[in-house]
Structure 1
Amino acid sequence: MQRGRLALFAVVTLVVLSGCTLPDSPDQFDTDRELGYVGDYTHDDVFEFDDDGALTEDQLEAVKYRSMARIEVLRGIKFERDVALEVITRREYRSQRGEPGSASAATNELWRGAFIVDGETDVNRAMDDLYGGAVQGYYTNNRIVIVTDETEEIRIDRETLVHELVHALQDQQFGLSSGGTTIDAQRAELGLIEGEANFIPHLYDRRCGAEWQCLAEYEQPPATSNLREQPFNVGLFLSIYTPYSEGPSFVDRLRERGGWAAVDSAYDDRPASTSQLIHPERYPDDQPVAVSIRDRSSDDWEPYAPDGEARETVGEATLFASLWANGVVERPLTDGGTELSPYNYSHPATDGWAGDTFQVYQDDDDRTGHVWKLAWESDDDAEAFADAYRTLLENRGANAVDDGDGTYRIPDEDPFAGAYRVNVSGDTVTIVGAPTVDELEEIRGTGAEQSESLESPVAPAMGAATSHAGTAPA
């Protein structure tokens, strides 16, 4: 089964919701019961209404418990307590989300500097546009909410229900709290969580028909490689979608290594980078390098730190997203994709990623710039990425400045307008972004790159990652 392009399932923070709610039922389950028996239902139950489109509340309750029993059989562990289930309209969902607040200057600079969200667009608005029309369901605080286009009749997408029930099981057995403090670390942890929640519906679907009678499944459009023609931010989508594309194969590889016990253990030692999702053989031993950036700015510029240091780790997956969205990676996304992982995030320009740190700077006029330092596994890997980044600049209309320092200028009328300098020193690439060419030197002197180590701890993040931690656009 391959889910279509845009279906978001999410683990989110507590939200107050209204809609169609199932009748209350006892919260705690008997943990001594036989696996695959939940409430008054078993995994092999057959319902006369399975071929019907619409469900009553009682039928929805029966489907929920049967699905929970089947997940227990597939996963080999039990639900400890009941899970509330609610159905709301997309209009209600948008209303409850409310209008997003403005992103910080640091967050906007980060995504602009990564050439994903342009300087004329607020990142929070771009996130809201992406999520508002795509979320099919989410899990929060022992409650599942299914988002539908209408609630006159209760209609449930089977994969969405199973996906969110897996999140409930994960929460009960392992916990869903995240220790990741950067975009890359959070995407990586979600690769385990969302990867399993996408992988189990795949196993579930294989038993439908031959072994289990199942609800009719809606036809899903296939994953498309023509994302550049879609009316949403492609780079942002690909960054957010990483856990959903790369996570299922990662979980499958863990299970091949050591069964479900290996997946269980991964919750105690979660993946540390999206590089480990894209290249599962790097988990768990190949840890990202901690990249330091010493402040070498002039008095006119200083590190942006109104609420702490504004530093981030972008990571391999988001680098790939940027290169693909900006036309540097020309192959279709689906080339090299699989049934479990529809989009292939691997590319020679990003495969050698070892670590990165993105530091935002600000001047007295509240203008922003950045220093982005990236570590690579070899000198050749560093050169490959630098070449790809220069191509990105040229694709965005940048002109090379004849100063011998790898400087480029994007004209003022472009939403990514500004000056950029690319420096390669061995296995390290340093990128500086500023409003003007002269201010590149004020943010980062040209002699700074040879004297810094990569050994200091990773700096705290600026909180630019999405607040959703669940299933993303599919």
Structure 2
Amino acid sequence: MNEPGRRRHWHVRTALFTMTLLVMLAGRGAALGQQEDPVIEAELARIANETAILRQLPALDRIDDVLMSRAELQAIIPELIAQESDPAQVAAEARSLAAIGLIPEGIDLVDLTVRLMGEQAAGFYDPLTDEMLVVSDGEETLGIEQYFYAHEIVHALQDAYLDPEDLMEELTSFNSDASLAQLALYEGDAVSASNDYLANHPALVLAILQEVGADFPELDQAPATVGISLLFPYVSGVAFVDRLRAEGGWDAVDAAYADMPESTEQILHPLKYLDRDAPATLALPKPADAIGEGWRTVDEDTLGELQIAVLLAGLAPGAGINGITGEIDLPEAARNAAAGWDGDRFALWEDENGEREILIWRSVWDTPQDARAFSRALAQFGNERWGSVFNGESADDVALVTPDIAARILLDGQHVLYVQAPALPLADAALAVLQSAPAPDPAPGPD
């Protein structure tokens, strides 16, 4: 029975789709699960104890393993996602991401998530019931499942000793960039420890390599930001955790749960986390102040360095992932243009009839040069997206107008302001208020 007010833990599997959505589905295996197999149960107990030793945390007294076939798991995914998602919130996020240019208009993120999870889910740990669901299709021994089970055991250890409940609460906040960064710690920890398990069992390496090279047609057809956000907590997270281990062993990783990373920037550049280079906190004006009564905020969030790089790259579906290594592979120009990020905040507004939308976006950069590089890259992205050209008397204050859209980019020192509206007068009005609104100084870097 669920404890009041406590949500199940899910691993984020799709891009910026409610960061509470994790692949650790609910513990529904008991009703559908297969009969217990003493041989497999003994093997699972061995893996659990070995993983705890490798992770340098006390072994768990008890783990309730539930065996389930992949078909059974896939059958319950739609219901679980429906229970854990807020359709209105998901629709708002889809609209804002489409307005920015990260996903196509009209995409159904819930349906996409169902398809992706059905293609990729391999098991989960449910902290509410202390059940470990193990996907098993009746084989007498465990192969690659050992690696996945070791990974999920780390999540059980996290739940028991490091209390990532605070992390899960943060994942419901309206800062997707911070949530993705915190999830990278959570998943990177599990990948790092399960890689240690893999090092002890080299015969499993071939099976892992075959899994990396497997075909994932749903992922290949998904918007690039979806696949990249799916992989980021694992591939970038493990690099981050391995850097912490190099600095201070598992003790440094444990300590990070009490001092969470605050941005994907800190995951991509671990020194920024170690030096406590925190992102700037930015505030946005209210739509009524900018446009007038009747306008409301549909969605407000933070993109962060990772998603800005993905945006500027202008990738085709399924792109941005190395098909051989499974690592994130973005064009150098996009990475460089996003690398000076120090903070951002965007909002999507709509009128009282839901017929017109305005997107406002403020970002702050480490230096004026970084801000200029981003503003130029953003203009180039807009030129290609809209089939027109940003221009103006100054390269620091430009506009683009088509029959369907009007956009403004203003470079102001270390700040870049972007506004997108259905007509230039609306864009000008929103930009004027965004420009006059108090903007905090960029966050201080390390001393």
For normalisation by structure 1, the TM-score amounts to: 0.74
- C-alpha deviation, 1:81, in angstroms: 2.8
Q: How does 1:35-434 map to 2 (within 5 A)?
A: 57-98=37-78, 100=82, 102-104=87-89, 105-141=91-127, 142-147=130-135, 150=137, 157-177=145-165, 178=167, 179-180=169-170, 181=173, 182-209=175-202, 217=207, 219-222=209-212, 230-284=220-274, 285-295=276-286, 296-299=289-292, 302-304=295-297, 310-326=299-315, 334=322, 342-343=327-328, 347-367=335-355, 368-400=357-389, 405-409=397-401, 418-434=405-421
CA contact (8 A) 2:280 2:442 kept: no
Q: Which runs of 5+ in 2 are unaligned?
A: 1-12, 16-20
CA contact (8 A) 1:425 1:450 kept: no
**Which segment is superposed worse, 174-183 or 283-292?**
174-183
- C-alpha deviation, 1:218, in angstroms: 5.3
- C-alpha deviation, 1:456, in angstroms: 11
- Give the distance between the partners of 2:113 and 2:295, measured in 1 at CA: 28
- Give the distance between the partners of 2:217 and 2:346, measured in 1 at CA: 27
Match of 2:438 in 1: 452
- C-alpha deviation, 1:397, in angstroms: 3.6
Q: Give the root-mean-square deviation of aligned CA atoms.
A: 3.5
Match of 2:422 in 1: 435
- Give the distance between the partners of 1:375 and 1:455, measured in 2 at CA: 9
CA separation of 1:111 and 1:103: change in aligned 2, threshold 3 A: farther
- Give the distance between the partners of 1:135 and 1:164, measured in 2 at CA: 12
CA separation of 1:208 and 1:217: change in aligned 2, threshold 3 A: same
CA separation of 1:102 and 1:436: change in aligned 2, threshold 3 A: farther
* Secondary structure class of the residue paired with 1:396: helix
Summarize deviations over 1:312-371 as a string: whole Å, max 9, x none.
Answer: 1121112222233437xx9x7559x9x8x8325682111111111112211011143321
- Give the distance between the partners of 1:222 and 1:429, measured in 2 at CA: 39
- Report runs of 4+ in structure 1 exceeding 6 Å deviation: 6-9, 213-216, 226-229
CA contact (8 A) 2:284 2:434 kept: no
Summarize deviations over 1:247-282 as a string: whole Å, max 9, x none.
Answer: 111111111111111111111111111111000001
- Give the distance between the partners of 2:42 and 2:402, measured in 1 at CA: 59
Match of 1:48 in 2: none
* Secondary structure class of the residue paired with 1:144: strand
CA contact (8 A) 1:139 1:164 kept: yes
Summarize deviations over 1:175-195 as a string: whole Å, max 9, x none.
Answer: 222242221111111111100
Summarize deviations over 1:413-464 as a string: whole Å, max 9, x none.
Answer: xxxxx4332221111111212234443234x14364255222699xxxxxxx
Identity of aligned residues (%): 24
Aligned residues: 398
Match of 1:35 in 2: none
Summarize deviations over 1:198-246 as a string: whole Å, max 9, x none.
Answer: 111211111225xxx879835425479x999922222122123211111
